[in-house]
Structure 1
């Protein structure tokens, strides 16, 4: 990355694997320390699940008025698990929460916000508006709004287990009814926007 002194990250993510996000956090911290880089995080639309604690590695976090954030307790699947497996999974989940997720959230917690406050919000697992997020974390709300151009892939299992995203029903596009040409156009617009 050469002489880069500011790294801007843009989020529109429903999250993913805790350990992958934690590895990215470690790489960003290392790069930041080795190169004296300022990291900014921008939530263009949504930052959910593991991406919500990944963005906490940034020095500055910016949300738009229509951005949403989801923080929740870590989750694991349990198909075919017995009681001993489930107890081990509970221990693993508690370890992830206490040693990976909470310390990152606390980095940007507002004065007076405790670990227990954040754990209570995580337990509810609700989508937070930009304003609600700013009541818990030190973030800056930008006065403009950003629209998500397109989302071609998503993890249906993850999305189905999360609470519904608070959106204006008139702006929702049912991607299953989009014809190939419209999808190609949306993808082209997305690629242009990323240039």
Structure 2
């Protein structure tokens, strides 16, 4: 079974056909058969990304994630759930610090900062578990807004498995966020 997590004009990770509820319904329908999760997304909700990641990791069948064009931000977390990750030689993967749009007094804003730090620690653990890299290295990549290609992630033209390779970023650029109004990431 194939599951497509492709952004639309109104949906990003956490909404519509990119929500954890949608992915769960698709996995229930697959009933243990192998699934291929195709990703082309700028990201969205870190919380939904973690929920999707957990759903895919617990799924009894084999899960292969395909980065078809872009797995950025929260979508990069979903990509890490694949027992096998396949990445087009033209695709990109991007990781960065979690973000939130927020308002309030100083105490309320400090609570948001604390939550963002907790969220980053959870995301970093997912990247560490998949890459085998230490926390200092992974957090440095997150803090730098790191863009990666299949060549950065594996010496082969297609990433056959991040489980056996390390993050090797070779370039970084700034990221311009889309209009998708999703929280955290």
Same fold (TM over 0.5): yes
Which has the larger displacement, 89-98 or 121-130?
121-130
Whether contact under 8 Å (1:24, 1:54) holds in the other structure is yes
Cα deviation, 1:80-125, whole Å, max 9, x if unaligned, reads: 32211221011101111113x1221122214xx2111111011111
Pair 1:92 & 2:120 matched = no
**Aligned-residue offset at 1:48:** 0.3
Take 2:180 and 2:47, find their aligned partners in 1: how far apart are those partners? 18
Alignment partner of 1:56 is 2:80:
yes
**Alignment-derived partner of residue 127 in structure 1:** 147
How many angstroms does 1:3 deviate by? 5.4
Match of 1:57, SS state, is coil
Question: How much does 1:4 deviate?
Answer: 4.4
Q: For this pair of structures, how many residues does the alignment match?
A: 136
Q: Distance in 1 between matches of 2:30 and 2:109?
A: 47
Task: Supply the RMSD in Å over aligned alpha carbons.
Answer: 2.4
**CA–CA separation in structure 1 for the residues paired with 2:33 and 2:148:** 31
CA distance in 2: counterparts of 1:67 and 1:2, whole angstroms: 27
Gaps of at least 5 residues in structure 2 are 1-28, 162-176
Provide closer, same or farther for how the CA distance between residues 140 and 2 of structure 1 changes in structure 2, counting only shifts above 3 A: closer
- 8 A contact 1:16–1:49 mirrored in 2: yes
Bigger radius of gyration among the two = 1
Contact 1:47 1:70 in 2 (8 A): yes
How far apart are residue 22 of structure 1 and its match?
1.4
CA contact (8 A) 1:16 1:50 kept: yes
Aligned mates of 2:143, 2:77 — CA distance in 1 = 15
Secondary structure at the aligned position of 1:140 is classed as coil
The DSSP-based 3-state class of the residue aligned with 1:8 is strand
Contact 1:69 1:133 (C-alpha < 8 Å) held by counterparts? no
More helix by share: 1
Q: Deviations over 1:145-168 (max 9, x none)?
A: xxxxxxxxx94267xxx9xxxxxx
In the alignment, what sits opposite 2:13?
A: none
Gaps of 5+ in 1: 142-153, 163-195
SS in 2 for 1:89: helix
